[in-house]
Amino acid sequence: MVLILSFGLAAPPAQASPPVDLDAYLGTWYELARTPNDFQDNTPHHEGRTYSECTGSTAEYERVDPDTVRIVNRCVRIAADGARWEDEAVGYGLVDPKGAGAVLRIAFGPTWARWVQRLISLGGFEYRIFALGRRDAAGQYRWSVVGNSDRDFLFLLARTPTVDDATWREMLRAANEAGLPAEQLIRRAARAAREDHGR
């Protein structure tokens, strides 16, 4: 769930985000669907092999301090000979004080890379939580709709690798109401997640 910096024309403001209890957002999320992006849909070379686009993507969120969240994104890539590679990206999100807990400013990579990203993006790439599912018995949000104010990317996340049809429709409705590009979503991540995490 890597954020993409866009130099295109800004879209009209999207629907405001709800207040978010970040402690209820922490933990593991499974990517159900995403809009295409350069990191996950590329085909990288690694140890002499060419690997597929990302499948079975997950994200783990951990509070570092009151204003910082550590994010670990992982996905599975598969080579033509069947070799599997777990790709990983580590980033840090700074809580935007104006975002009521719903907005993080994220940068990935080592310290110098994060510094550069924050410099060119005026604080970090925007990660905005637009909608959330009800909390579970442990007090965690069940699903999340994530994008940015320019509406040029979208992720649908859940606490489980798959959701029932009613929940899927509820998430799509929330994305559409927020003006996010739901028509561009791809769901192969959900199929891969079922295979990779259903054991």
pLDDT of residue 15: 54
Query: Would you state the structure tokens that stand for residue 73, as one six-digit string?
Result: 């994104």
| Dist CA 8 CA 102 (whole Å) | 24
pLDDT of residue 121: 83
Query: Would you state the structure tokens that stand for residue 114, as one six-digit string?
Result: 């994060």
| Dist CA 36 CA 1 (whole Å) | 10
Mean pLDDT of 156-182: 95
More confident residue, 151 or 93: 93
pLDDT more than 70, % of the chain: 86
More confident residue, 181 or 47: 181
Would you say 152 and 9 are in contact if contact means Cβ atoms under 8 Å apart?
Answer: no
Mean pLDDT of 47-53: 89
Query: Would you state the structure tokens that stand for residue 15, as one six-digit string?
Result: 């629907």
pLDDT band at 53 (very low <50, low <70, confident <90, very high): confident
| 106 has pLDDT over 80 | yes
Worst-scoring range by mean pLDDT, 22-36, 88-102, 112-126, 180-194?
A: 180-194
Would you say 35 and 185 are in contact if contact means Cβ atoms under 8 Å apart?
Answer: yes
Mean pLDDT of 162-183: 95
Helix (H, G, I), strand (E, B) or coil at 168: helix
Query: Residue 123 CA to chain centroid, in angstroms?
Result: 18
- Kind and range of the H or E element at 56? strand 55-65
pTM of the model: 0.83
CA dist 44 → 31, 78, 109, 126 (Å): 20, 10, 17, 25
Mean pLDDT of 170-186: 94
Closest CA to 197 of 30, 60, 79, 77: 30
Mean pLDDT of 133-141: 95
pLDDT band at 191 (very low <50, low <70, confident <90, very high): very low
